[in-house]
Amino acid sequence: MAQRPAPSSTTQRIGFVSVALEVALTFCRMAREADPFHQRTYLGKARKAYDIAVRYMFGLDMAKKEFHAISANAERVKHMLKSLENGHDLPSPPPAPIQPIQ
């Protein structure tokens, strides 16, 4: 059975950024539903995941299509974070807010 080649470092980093953004979005959703004490905790975790994603996002050598998908996802999370941190509740995001990277 032939083995697939190992993914490149860039591919792994793109996957890492995508997962970090998904984690940030999940914590934003949890914060929206939580009591004030837990909301702060969830927002802190969402902010940390978002900051990590942004740190690793820039400097990656990726196709334009991948960059646009990741950038759109980062903007979506950034908007949710800012609104929740400012005390505004947001309507539920669309069912599939994170765009898959292909």
Q: Which residues contact 89 (CB under 8 A, 6 or more apart)?
A: 32, 83
Q: Tell me: the pLDDT tens digits for 32-78? A: 999 888 999 999 999 999 999 999 988 888 888 888 899 999 999 99
Gap between the Cα atoms of 2 and 95, Å rounded: 37
Q: Which residues contact 67 (CB under 8 A, 6 or more apart)?
A: 60
Question: Does residue 3 have a pLDDT over 90?
Answer: no
Helix axes 9-33, 36-57, angle to 10 degrees: 160
Question: Does residue 16 have a pLDDT over 90?
Answer: yes
Domains, in order of start, for the chain: 9-85 (1.20.58)
Q: Tell me: the pLDDT tens digits for 76-99? A: 999 999 999 888 665 444 444 555
